[in-house]
């Protein structure tokens, strides 16, 4: 059994990193929620500082939400909130997702990734992959299993998550930067009402597509996630509202079909009364219940053997 650092040591390390970030970018960096540790995704000085708000970061970060002491099961999930690639839903999707995960013994890592109008493809993808690498590289500190790290994405964040799991970055062994050698492949993924296609005009969320690509048509096939599912895509569950008019449920349906075609484990839930973002509490509860059952069936809620 590997020796792990204590929780107090872990939080001391996190606090130190968070303080360092504040010192480097105090004039630009927004503050994390009370009691939450915020860590930089990239080495200090490698990302230019700039105007920074909670939902529009110039310096991408990850917020660490640990489960209550003694309840952790060793699983972690990197969370990519939605926002149409023009914002990050830190006031709605992020806290709800973090609460759900931590209540189920999972450590949540909420990412504030860069987005339009200042940042476009591939910067959001770079931030999402970097979050996966950071969490996996510091698994012992975070008291998680490096092979139990999932990805959760909402709406445009669901598209970002779908891009991560279909355009896999397994790390570059010869890289000079140690973190670049770490795999960014999630072990599983959960997609909530995701934007998927950029090429099927009947179902495209054009705002997300425009924000990410500046309407450069040459990028649309590359970023149309249903076209890039492979046998190496990790297991995935999708939940979508049947009444979603902003991001039609056909997005999730075509992604699930692509997974089935190549033999990827996939589960799909279309909630007949659900609208986009699951603002209705009963619908949202049903969606998270589906996710909880899927996590349990697949062993992500059990502590791994040592």
Question: What number is the average pLDDT over the span 281-304?
Answer: 96
Could you give the number of structural domains in the chain?
1
Residue 276: CA count within 13 A, CB half-sphere: 18
Classify residue 281: in a domain, yes or no: yes
For residue 35, what is the domain's CATH number? 3.40.50.1820
Token couple for 106:
């999972």
Q: What percent of the chain has pLDDT over 70?
A: 90
What is the reported pTM? Answer: 0.90
- What is the extent of the structural domain holding 268? 7-297
- Cis ω for the linkage preceding 259 (within 30 of 0): no
Q: Is residue 153 one of the residues assigned to a domain?
A: yes
Q: What is the DSSP annotation of 261-290?
A: HHT--EEEEEETT--GGG-SHHHHHHHHHH
pLDDT single digits (tens) 87-117? 999 999 999 999 999 999 999 999 999 999 9
- Per residue in 174-227, pLDDT tens? 999 999 999 999 999 999 999 999 999 999 999 999 999 999 999 999 999 999
Residue-wise pLDDT tens digits, 157-178: 999 999 999 999 999 999 999 9
Q: What pLDDT score was predicted for residue 2?
A: 37
Is 1 within a domain?
no
Candidates 297, 142, 298, 121; CA nearest to 218 is 121
Return d(Cα 302, Cα 300) in angstroms, integer.
6
């Amino acid at each position: 059994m590997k020796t792990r650092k204590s929780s107090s040591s872990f939080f001391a390390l996190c606090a130190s990193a968070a303080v360092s970030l504040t010192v480097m970018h105090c004039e630009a960096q927004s503050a994390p929620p009370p009691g939450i540790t915020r860590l930089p995704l990239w080495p200090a000085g490698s990302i230019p500082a700039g105007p920074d708000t909670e939902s529009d970061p110039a310096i991408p970060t990850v917020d660490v939400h640990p489960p209550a002491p003694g309840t952790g099961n060793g699983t972690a999930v990197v969370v990519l909130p939605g926002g149409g690639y023009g914002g990050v839903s830190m006031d709605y999707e992020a806290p709800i997702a973090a609460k759900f995960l931590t209540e189920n013994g999972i450590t949540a890592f909420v990412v504030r990734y860069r987005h339009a109008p200042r940042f476009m493809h591939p910067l959001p993808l770079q931030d999402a992959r970097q979050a996966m690498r950071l969490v996996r590289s510091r698994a012992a500190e975070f008291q998680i299993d490096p092979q139990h790290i999932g990805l959760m994405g909402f709406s445009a964040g669901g598209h970002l998550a779908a891009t991560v799991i279909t355009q896999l970055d397994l790390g570059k062994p010869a890289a000079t930067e140690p973190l670049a050698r770490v795999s960014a492949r999630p072990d599983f993924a959960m997609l909530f009402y995701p934007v998927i296609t950029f090429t099927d005009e009947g179902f495209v969320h054009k705002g997300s597509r425009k924000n990410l690509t500046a309407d450069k048509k040459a990028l649309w096939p590359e970023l149309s996630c249903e076209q890039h599912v492979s046998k190496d895509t990790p297991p995935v569950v999708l939940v979508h509202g049947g009444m979603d008019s902003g991001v039609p449920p056909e997005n999730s349906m075509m992604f699930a079909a692509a997974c089935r075609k190549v033999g990827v484990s996939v589960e799909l839930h279309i909630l007949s009364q659900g609208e986009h973002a699951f603002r209705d509490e009963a619908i949202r509860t049903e969606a998270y219940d589906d996710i909880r059952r899927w996590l349990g069936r697949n062993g992500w809620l059990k502590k791994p053997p040592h």
